Amino acid sequence: MNALACYLGFCLSGPNPPDLSNIAFLDGNLGSHDLELIEERMFVDPSSGTVSATVSVTLTAGPGGLAAILMLIESGLLVDRVYDQDGFDLPYDELAQGGYRYVQPTLQPAIAEGSQVTLHFTYAGRLICPSDGRFASCDYGGERLDFAFAGTAFPIFYDPFDFDSTAYYERRISISVPSGTDVYLTADELSRNDDGTALTVDYRIPVRQDFAAYLAVFGDLVEREVPGTSVPTRVIHLRSDPEWIDEIAEWAAKIVEANPLLIYIELARHALMESAPLASSVPKLWVMAVAWAVLFGVGGFVYFWRGEQEYGRG
């Protein structure tokens, strides 16, 4: 542990350890190595904030081989075991700091360039959702876990020795919760099955998503498709939320449709592609495009005309 602590920039005996939470932004950054697939199977009990998970990571080592990989989870979770595809246990160092738990298994000998390996991590514990977790964000006030981002129950992986480039990879996630509780993840849902004891939902993320977009929501949830919008819009919220939540979602969908960037991109797609699906009908797109053009043209003229007296002054 001391070696890992010193490598990350301080020793455990140091009086003022630095903030390490920025490391969370390196999600998927495995330098020249090819991170191909992450498979996660976990059980989450939102009423207690407890989590148990097994995570498998498949990758191919790049130039120079791969000697270590670093996993980041929330500090309330404890690693039980790390092992390879042959079932052999791997030694690892771990360190809890800044709301995170850093777990670094050592690969000896190093994985040779071009070789593929699958590593398995098992961990369990109770999410504490520390206020100093910064980017590892979740919400558990002692009664119910409402949401969790990547870096909490869901791990983040990267190569601790090489941050030169970002790898894109597929992610498959299977989440189980007690029956009577719903869960939704910002990913493609593949299946949903409730056996009377637990609800299990399988998801797939084709490539790495932005850090903030990776979110799971738990609770007594209601799902509803927003009608009357050309941009497919789905609202998921707690059943106890007021009815005006759905109305806000409808207005938000209409605002998205009126986005000038979306409008002009859709018109360009219509001009270049045959039978391209569009966010709105072509006449409606042209009406909004002309309206935005007039607004920006008149507004820009007035703005620069009013500032004309300031031009050329030092």
Query: What's the pLDDT tens digit per position in 5-50?
Result: 333 333 333 223 333 333 332 333 355 677 788 899 999 998 888 9
pLDDT at 289: 92
Please indicate whether residue 26 or residue 52 has the higher confidence score (pLDDT).
52
Do residues 199 and 214 touch, judged by C-beta distance below 8 A?
Answer: no
160 pLDDT higher than 70: no
Please indicate whether residue 108 or residue 208 has the higher confidence score (pLDDT).
108
Please list the helix, strand and coil fractions of the chain in percent, rounded to the nearest 5, in that order: 25, 40, 35
Please indicate whether residue 158 or residue 71 has the higher confidence score (pLDDT).
71
Which SS3 state, helix, strand or coil, does residue 146 take? strand
Average pLDDT of the residues of the chain? 76
The residue-averaged pLDDT of 156-184 equals 73
pLDDT at 161: 53
pLDDT at 82: 94
The residue-averaged pLDDT of 111-119 equals 89
Give the pLDDT band of residue 228 (cuts 50, 70, 90).
low
pLDDT at 125: 94
d(CA 140, CA 144): 6
242 pLDDT higher than 60: yes
Most confidently modeled of 101-110, 138-147, 219-228?
A: 101-110
The residue-averaged pLDDT of 164-185 equals 78
281 pLDDT higher than 80: yes
pLDDT at 230: 60
d(CA 289, CA 283): 10
d(CA 228, CA 2): 59
Write down the H helix ranges in the chain: 2-7, 244-257, 260-272, 282-306
Q: How many CA atoms within 13 Å lie on the side-chain side of 163?
A: 7
Overall residue count recorded for the chain in this entry: 314
Token duo for residue 183: 């869960």
